[in-house]
Amino acid sequence: MLKEDELVGSISIFRQEVRPFTEKQIELVTSFAAQAVIAIENVRLLNELRDRTTELARSVEELRALGEVSHAVNSTLEVETVLQTIVSKAVQLSRTDAGTIYVFDEASQEFLLQATYGMDDALIDAIRHQRLGIDSAVVGDAARARAPMQVPQLDDDPAHPVQGLIVRAGFRALLVVPLLSPDGIVGALVVRRRAPGEFAGTTIDLLQTFAAQSVVAIENARLFAEIEEKGRQLELASRHKSQFLANMSHELRTPLNAVLGYSEMMLDGLYGDLPEKAKGVLERVQSNGRHLLGLINDVLDLSKIEAGQLTLAIEDYSMAALVKQALSTTESLARTKGLALTAQIQDGLPLGRGDERRLTQVLLNLIGNAVKFTDKGEVAITAEAADGRFTVAVRDTGPGIAEADQARIFEEFQQVDNTNTRKKGGTGLGLAIAKKIMEMHGGKLTVQSAPGQGSTFRMILPVRAQQGKEAA
């Protein structure tokens, strides 16, 4: 029987009489041969289809399992959960009976049992109490060789106590796939089978894929643990820093207040008349002392905010009165520099609710900065309300701020790095504190500026602020 020049088989017929077959008989046998070819081909195609279907189903099963493992690796940082998923899928897809994942501990140079599948609690407990070092047979050998290693027939005389335990439990073959990273050994994936015999190459390849997923899970867990520990250390350091700043500020304010108090009494003549030269010196002491006290108060405020100890004294206030008070306080400073200081307040502003003292502190900081950095022109303040929010703007005709520096000026201890800023001085804390106070009110502090075009700072906050907000 032939199929397109390919030999498929043959049909032989015999008879006892010695005479040639007729044409009709030959034609009939030929017809049977053609039918036989079709039948044989159908059987072959059916077998191929069955084999391919089985192979496809297995591939789909493997892909589904790898997908589940991938999802486990990416959805949780609980390494036990991920490794348990990996070892169970590895055993199921490799058609073995049990499996274990060990994690290598660098300090002790031992493999520590991390996840198991297909073993009873007694066996797991027995294995857990056996030391499995880097020098141990099979597992240690595979790790040192950085390659899979199998034992097709486990002996009754084991090379390691763990091997003796699994032999007594009925297992007769095992495969070890080391878990490796570029930096060293991470652990080992072990599968065990009750039937002896070598493991297929496809099984080894599959388990190496699972081993790679295990490495990712373990490394992710270790990295997350390191980040958590660093976070705890940073949080502790931040608390210590804030406490130190608060203590330092209190300790500095006490003697400074005494200096300011005594110098003021001397200027008032409580200790007798002073020569004019001495009065001038004391006035400079007073001026610099008040400036230093302001800086200390800024540090204290910042430390309280960072420690979560700064609370708002929420009460009703008048925004119009608040702006007028700030204007009155800074008017002499602007007059000294020859600047026009104006305020435009919308009529009928609603009664506000918030910490009036802290909001005044923010506005004074904005006006003070505007006057300090503006050498000619004006500083203009506007206050209005709309849609349940106050907007208070402080506009100046100063040098302006480049766009690249506008976010940085609200950070702690940050200032625009130019000659004019260095000449004016300051610690760079005022705007950082102002921003945090605005955030505690549920508002924000913004800036709009360009070099050579002045700056406009805006306080935007709810008319009725709520207690309990935290600075971002």
DSSP state of 418: S
CA–CA separation, 433 vs 362, rounded Å?
8
Confidence of residue 471 (pLDDT cuts 50, 70, 90): very low
Q: CA–CA separation, 408 vs 435, rounded Å?
A: 12
| Of residues 259, 256, 248, the one with CA closest to residue 299 | 248
CATH 1.10.10 fits 234-306, yes or no: no
Domain map (residue ranges) of the chain: 2-70, 74-225, 234-306, 315-462
* Residue 182 pLDDT level (bands cut at 50, 70, 90): confident
Q: For residues 422 and 288, give the distance between their C-alpha atoms in angstroms, rounded to a whole number.
A: 18
Mean pLDDT of the chain, nearest integer: 81
CATH fold of 74-225 reads Beta-Lactamase (3.30.450)
pLDDT tens-place string over residues 191-237: 999 999 999 888 888 888 878 877 877 777 777 777 888 888 887 77
- CA-nearest of 410, 380, 392, 402 to 458 is 392
Indicate whether 335 pLDDT > 80.
yes
> Do residues 187 and 103 lie in contact, with contact meaning Cβ atoms separated by under 8 Å?
yes
Question: Across the chain, which distance is largest between two alpha carbons, in Å?
Answer: 161
pLDDT at 419 over 60: no
- The pLDDT assigned to 265 comes to 86
Residue pLDDT, tens place only, 9-45: 555 555 556 667 677 766 776 777 777 767 777 767 6
| Res 184: pLDDT | 86
Tell me the C-alpha distance between 333 and 181, whole Å. 66
pLDDT at 359: 94
Band (pLDDT 50/70/90 cuts) for residue 427 is: low
% of the chain beyond a pLDDT of 70: 79
pTM over the 0.75 mark: no
Q: Which residues contact 205 (CB under 8 A, 6 or more apart)?
A: none
Mean pLDDT for the stretch of residues 306-334: 88
What's the pLDDT at 395?
A: 95
* Rg for the chain, CA atoms, rounded: 42
55 band by pLDDT with thresholds 50, 70 and 90: low
Pairing of strands 351-354, 340-345: unpaired
Two domains, one topology: 234-306 and 315-462: no
CATH number for 315-462 (one of 3.40.630.30, 2.60.40.10, 1.10.3720.10, 3.30.565.10): it is 3.30.565.10
Which helix H or strand E contains 424, and what residues bound it?
helix 419-424
Position 354 scores a pLDDT of 93
Q: What is the C-alpha separation between 455 and 399, in angstroms, rounded?
A: 8
For 345-383, the pLDDT digits (tens) are 999 999 999 999 999 999 999 999 999 999 999 999 999
